[in-house]
Structure 1
Amino acid sequence: MPAIPVPYHATAVRPTWSALPAGLREAVTARLGSQVVATRPATAGFTGGFAAVLETADGGRVFVKAADLVHQGHLADWYAREAAVLARLPAGLPVPRPRWALDAAGWHALCLDAIDGRIPRLPWAPAELAAVLAGYAEVAAALAEPPAGLVAPGLPHLADLVRDDVLWWGEVAAGREPMPPASETARARLTDLVALESRLPGYAAAGRGLAHGDLRVDNVLLDGAGRAWFCDWNWLCHGPAWFDLVGLLLTGYADGLPVDDLFAAHPAAVDAPPDALDVTLAALAGYFLTSAAAVAPGVVGPAAATAATPPVSPYLRAHQRFSGEQALGWLALRQGWA
């Protein structure tokens, strides 16, 4: 297997605490009740929002995210959505809990409990992968029946998200989207890829529980005791947990791990349709490869002149390309297309 080209522990490009507007820093400090004496930026992730552990003079530690309401309005919306989700997740789950949110100086800030951890090392260490899979089994079991508090906010349905933004092989086949740079496998098997991905909305609609919706290695932290914590909950949706499991295992395929067996043995896949793994891999391959071929990410227009709103990660397209290639390679192996 090829080496993983994306340094998932160091993909982020973010403003520093000192680069934030003074009014925002003052408002956050006032809410904390003590001066910020040290910061530890979040080095993972692909957005340009502020994200760091803040340590205060009284010994406190919190994790704060912040986004410019004008130039990063989508991030501010994501943070608000995440706060609503985290406040309603069942007690005891390994997820950060929200403390407060505020708007100041044209920015939105969200304060969460700080998790003292790091993202899993790649290539995967067996013990770390086992801890992450066990942790997600706990989360999936707790969300198998949507808690009442999470039904009220009107969460999206994975089936709708998939139809709107994930199914791209059909667009390629119809000539509405160019074929993304990919192996000859995609060109030779385009009809098969379209047929496979087209089943995903129906499968997703049949899922009774809730799915994280964006589960990948850099949205997981391992604490000092080896317990896995799951972060970035702004895409929680009605859908099957096995969808999350496929995204989580993509980097395991790159490491040459027995991902077929890991998927089949996981509690989240117990009720998965027989071809759910292939269907999801086909859809993810098209989504990631098409996204990777889009215009290079960055901030344009007025935001380009604002030092506190940097471009998104320069590793974003590499992450998408790598993920798409792994999904397609895994699928080709399973289908005997090699």
Structure 2
Amino acid sequence: MLPPPYHATAVRPDWSALPAGLRAAVTARLGAPVVAARTATAGFTGGFAAVLETADGGTVFIKAADHAHQGHLVDWYAREAAVLGRLPAGLPVPRPRWALDAAGWHALCLDAIDGRPPRLPWIPAELDAVLTGYAEVAAVLAAPPAGLAAPGLPHLADLLRDDVLWWGEVAVGREPMPPAPEAARTRLSDLVALESRLPGYAAAAPGLAHGDLRVDNVLLDADGRAWFCDWNWLCHGPAWFDLVGLLLTGYADGLPVDALFAAHPAAADAPPDALDVTLAALAGYFLTSAAAVPPDAAGPVAAPPVSPYLRAHQRFSGAQALGWLAVRQGWA
């Protein structure tokens, strides 16, 4: 199964399509006219996201969402700004500049990162850069400064119980079995047992996790340094959970993902079966999500479109997680 084109998955409004009042407010805050706008092509939400260039030579990255139809994105952007403002200086993360509300929209301004997502199949130098960069981030998250938890961060254990653990729901008949390889159908009790251990592991971890670390949330700059973006899901939990999300696409490429996980500093204190229980949970989450009704078709009011590649991403990620787990467990 081929991965989606993570560099070109987004469906977003262009700068010219935003309300005139919002464009005027952003331009006034920038202090110079916008002369060019490069819409971000990665990601799965329908929010505005673009690098804006101004007449005075400045560049910024702007995210924006409609309060009326994208309230969840407004909340995410506000949470991300609070998190980024509290991360220590020097980390490879974008820095917030300001936020404003105008014309019924919320806009967040960040430093612009001149970069691109890593290429798939993985190029060894790019994978090394991403894993090295995340080791730097994970070291900070393992012993975070006191102020970083000030926004009332959620706990990964709660997020898992509320929205990620689905094999148990399938087993008791509250959720249909998603389209899945035979390994899932014949090993359902094993999958339930594995995923059920993950919340306890997450609750016992003392640090923080990004919570949504995927290849499309990473940028590589011209010097090859990895930058980590989209921090709206920071939560109390282990950094090794993030590491599994990063390595899923490496499994598809035939890389030695078991060894890469075991050798990474983020996994130094992981329980012996942390990789297996995380793979089980992610497989159930992604495969079940891929079979659900698309978000923009779920209600009576038309919402801004999400990426047409969202379900492909979920199917691909679920299949990789289950395939990797099946090999580790000797099911395949």
TM-score by length of 2: 0.98
Q: Hey, what does 2:294 align to over in structure 1? A: 296
Q: Hey, what does 1:318 align to over in structure 2? A: 312
The C-alpha deviation readout for 1:31-89, integer Å capped at 9, x for no partner, is: 00000000111100000000000000000000000000000000000000000000000
Question: Could you say what secondary structure the match of 2:6 adopts?
Answer: coil
Among 130, 136, 144, which residue is 2:134 paired with? 136
User: How many angstroms does 1:301 deviate by?
Assistant: 5.9
What amino acid maps onto 2:113 in structure 1? I
CA distance in 2 between counterparts of 1:192 and 1:232 reads 33
CA distance in 1 between counterparts of 2:166 and 2:266 reads 26
> Matches of residues 28-43 of structure 1 in structure 2 within 5 Å?
28-43=26-41
> Matches of residues 147-186 of structure 1 in structure 2 within 5 Å?
147-186=145-184
- Runs of 4+ with deviation above 4 angstroms: 299-303
TM-score by length of 1: 0.97
CA distance in 1 between counterparts of 2:268 and 2:52 reads 41
Q: Is the 8 A contact 1:35 1:57 kept in 2?
A: yes
CA distance in 2 between counterparts of 1:20 and 1:302 reads 24
The C-alpha deviation readout for 1:143-186, integer Å capped at 9, x for no partner, is: 11121111221100101100111000000001000000001110
Question: Could you say what secondary structure the match of 1:310 adopts?
Answer: coil
Q: Is the 8 A contact 1:13 1:310 kept in 2?
A: no
Gaps of 5+ in 2: none
Q: Hey, what does 1:259 align to over in structure 2? A: 257
CA distance in 1 between counterparts of 2:113 and 2:297 reads 30
Question: Could you say what secondary structure the match of 2:53 adopts?
Answer: strand
Q: Is the 8 A contact 1:297 1:316 kept in 2?
A: no
Q: Is the 8 A contact 2:96 2:108 kept in 1?
A: yes
Q: Hey, what does 1:118 align to over in structure 2? A: 116
Q: Hey, what does 2:201 align to over in structure 1? A: 203
The C-alpha deviation readout for 1:280-338, integer Å capped at 9, x for no partner, is: 0000000000000001342666753xxxx631000000100100000000000000001
Question: Could you say what secondary structure the match of 1:38 adopts?
Answer: strand
> Matches of residues 207-226 of structure 1 in structure 2 within 5 Å?
207-226=205-224
Q: Is the 8 A contact 1:54 1:64 kept in 2?
A: yes
Q: Is the 8 A contact 2:69 2:304 kept in 1?
A: no
CA distance in 1 between counterparts of 2:109 and 2:165 reads 35
> Matches of residues 73-152 of structure 1 in structure 2 within 5 Å?
73-152=71-150
> Matches of residues 219-298 of structure 1 in structure 2 within 5 Å?
219-298=217-296
CA distance in 2 between counterparts of 1:302 and 1:107 reads 22
Q: Is the 8 A contact 2:99 2:106 kept in 1?
A: yes
The C-alpha deviation readout for 1:189-225, integer Å capped at 9, x for no partner, is: 0000000000000000111111000000000000000
Gaps of 5+ in 1: none
RMSD of aligned residue pairs (Cα, Å)? 1.0
Q: Percent identity?
A: 87
CA distance in 2 between counterparts of 1:251 and 1:183 reads 18
